[in-house]
């Protein structure tokens, strides 16, 4: 299999992190330069179908895009350590928190960075400072929810580290491009974030 990825984008890191948690080393890594538009070339679009990274090309020639879909596929092939849930209830709870972390934290922070970092102007038709600020405020609103959740939970979605923790940490880490730090009053969020960043797979997936 081949993983088309970019170290300049946050979502591919989710896949690399999952691979690191599971100890997967037999996937060929192909770096795509999104700053020069390599992901928009006819060759890449013909292979993937869309101008997105990451994308996983299977041995049969089929290609899967979208980071969570790729991670689910890898989980199905390599169930341990389990990141998506062991039974229907746990799967649903992890899915719920993963979607919350993606929609209300990771995506807003990504938009904040893309509309405020000068080097990322190449990826936007027009950078809009108001878009950056609006999304920062929305992300911090959800951080308050996460802080309450983490007051009596070690991890976001289950009694162990899961894909929800990966999605949230990657989103917060991407915001460091603009030197962003979560509000200091969110002490439980800070504890969890420090522990997530300290995982060996966090560094391997970076």
**Residue listed under structure tokens 């797979």:** 201
- DSSP, res 59: T
Indicate whether 82 belongs to any domain: no
Closest residue by Cα to residue 78 from 159, 149, 24: 24
93 token code pair: 């709870």
Question: Which of 77, 105, 123 marks a domain boundary?
Answer: 77
Q: Which domain holds residue 145?
A: 88-199
Cβ burial, residue 98 (10 Å; 0-12/13-18/19+)? buried
Give the chain's domain count. Answer: 2
- Mark whether 104 and 188 lie in a shared domain: yes
Asked if the structure places residue 83 within a domain, the reply is no
The answer to whether residues 136 and 194 belong to one domain is yes
Strand residue runs (E) in 66-105: none
- The residues facing 64 across adjacent strands are 56
Can you give the pLDDT of all 206 residues of the chain as single tens digits? 999 999 989 999 999 999 999 999 999 999 999 989 899 999 999 999 999 999 999 999 999 999 999 999 999 999 999 999 999 999 999 999 999 999 999 999 999 998 988 877 767 768 899 999 999 999 999 999 999 999 999 999 999 999 999 999 999 999 999 999 999 999 999 999 999 999 999 997 67
Q: Could you tell me whether strands 28-31 and 2-5 are parallel, antiparallel, or unpaired per DSSP bridges?
A: parallel
- Look at residues 26, 57, 77 and tell me which one is the last residue of a structural domain: 77
Residue that terminates a domain, selected from 77, 103, 129: 77
């Amino acid at each position: 299999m081949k993983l088309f990825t970019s170290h300049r984008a946050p979502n591919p890191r989710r896949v690399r992190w999952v691979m690191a948690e599971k100890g997967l080393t037999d996937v060929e890594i192909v770096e795509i330069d999104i700053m020069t538009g390599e992901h928009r070339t006819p060759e890449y679009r013909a292979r993937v179908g869309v101008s997105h990274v990451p994308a996983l090309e299977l041995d049969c020639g089929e290609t899967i895009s979208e980071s969570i879909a790729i991670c689910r596929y890898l989980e199905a092939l390599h169930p341990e350590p389990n990141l998506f849930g062991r039974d229907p209830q746990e799967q649903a709870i992890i899915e719920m928190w993963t979607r919350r972390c993606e929609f209300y934290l990771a995506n807003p922070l990504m938009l904040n960075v893309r509309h405020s970092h000068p080097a990322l102007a190449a990826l936007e038709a027009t950078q809009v400072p108001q878009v950056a600020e609006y999304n920062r405020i929305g992300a911090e609103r959800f951080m308050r929810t996460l802080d309450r959740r983490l007051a009596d939970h070690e991890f976001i979605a289950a009694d162990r580290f899961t894909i929800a923790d990966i999605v949230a940490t990657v989103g917060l880490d991407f915001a460091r491009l603009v030197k962003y730090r979560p509000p200091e009053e969110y002490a439980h969020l800070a504890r969890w974030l420090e522990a997530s960043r300290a995982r060996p797979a966090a560094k391997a997936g970076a």
